[in-house]
Amino acid sequence: MSQEALYDALLDALYATFGRHAGFRVAHAKGVLAQGTFVATSSASNVSRAVHFQGGSIPIRVRFSNFSGLPGTRDGDPTASPHGLAIRFSLPDGQSTDIVAHSFNGFPVATAQDFLSFLQGIAASVATPPDPAPLAAFLAEHPRARQFLDTPKPAPRSYIATEYFGVNALEFSNLKGERRIGRYRIEPWVGEPALSDEQAAAMPDDYLRDELTTRLSKGPAKIRLVLQLAAPGDAVEDGSIPWSRANEEIELGVLTLDRLISPEAQQTEQQRLDFNPGRLPDGIAPSADPMIEARQGIYERAMGRRRQP
């Protein structure tokens, strides 16, 4: 199967699971878009020569989202987790770079082909009539995918008060030519405990959007961008394996969100923005993780389909 055919098959499996909803993403369909600025720490330039890590204020747009491909999914529904966070940095040269992360430390699989089998199994399990056998067979041979599905993912109290993980490793190069491998993590300025299942079930459908609206109406909100560095022996090429929290970490900067995009422009702007984790500037490059290239191709194809009537 060619890479292009593989990407199409992956999208087909997602559409088979969630259906097609014109103008919305095939996954993480429901979201809210905010804007603000990013300011790098003095440590960031020691890690990478990327322009947004050299200091100064960089405009950003941030999209918080629910996992489900159904636009009407309740924020507290179990299928809304893991929640997503996408960040667009608008660089001084007119280009942009993105981070795409979610609120679970790890991806279900290591390769695009395994991702296809995983998604096809899920699609079969929710088909009419359902066929649970393909997913059960896949999970029997892929314990980390089973762990991804089985691990509790409680609903957050706020989009901005939970951790997000960029599960694919990247290579960072500074002006001296020194190279480090790392994964992004986005940390809340002040963490808050997750909701219990009972609390989440009782929350309004759009409580996360409403909470963020209220929070930003009172003033800017901050979150931290952190880089977790690879230690010897870490699985750089496999995003399904989380690294130890004892690894060295470097705070790269602070993202300050000051307001939501206006309600009238939310859907138009969300449809227009094509966040892509493979859009990398000088000073940041792909590692050996094959899902970086795969996600780039899938996201580009998904954007094309989203623009179709």
- CATH fold of the domain at 32-108+154-290: Catalase HpII,  Chain A, domain 1 (2.40.180)
CA 167 to chain centre: 8
The whole-number pLDDT of residue 247 equals 97
Residue 43: CB atoms within 10 A of its CB come to 13
Residue 226 CA from chain centroid, whole number: 15
CA angle (33, 37, 40) in 5-degree steps: 130
- Asked if 108 contacts 148 with a C-beta cutoff of 8 angstroms, the reply is yes
Residue 309, pLDDT score: 64
For the chain, the three-class secondary structure string (H helix, E strand, C coil) is CCHHHHHHHHHHHHHHHHCCCCCCCCCCCCEEEEEEEEEECCCHHHHCCCHHHCCCEEEEEEEEECCCCCCCCCCCCHHHCCCEEEEEEECCCCCEEEEEEECCCCCCCCCHHHHHHHHHHHHHHCCCCCCCHHHHHHHHHCHHHHHHHHCCCCCCCCHHHCCEECCCCEEEECCCCCEEEEEEEEEECCCCCCCCHHHHHHCCCCHHHHHHHHHHHCCCEEEEEEEEECCCCCCCCCCCCCCCCCCCEEEEEEEEEEEECCCCCHHHHHHHCCCCCCCCCCCEEECCCCHHHHHHHHHHHHHHHHCCC
End-to-end C-alpha distance for the chain, whole angstroms: 28
Measured CA to CA, the distance from residue 8 to residue 204 in angstroms comes to 36
pLDDT computed for residue 53 by the predictor: 97
Between CA 18 and CA 34 the distance in angstroms is: 26
Which residue's structure tokens are 């279900």? 108
pTM of the complete model: 0.95
Q: How far apart are CA 136 and CA 75, in angstroms?
A: 28
Q: Is 19 exposed, middle or buried (0-12, 13-18, 19+ CB in 10 A)?
A: exposed
CA distance 40 to 255: 9
d(CA 212, CA 33): 10
pLDDT along the chain (309 residues), means of 10: 90 93 91 97 96 96 96 96 97 95 96 96 95 97 96 96 96 96 97 95 97 96 98 96 96 97 90 92 96 91 81
Alpha-carbon gap, residue 209 to 86, rounded angstroms? 15
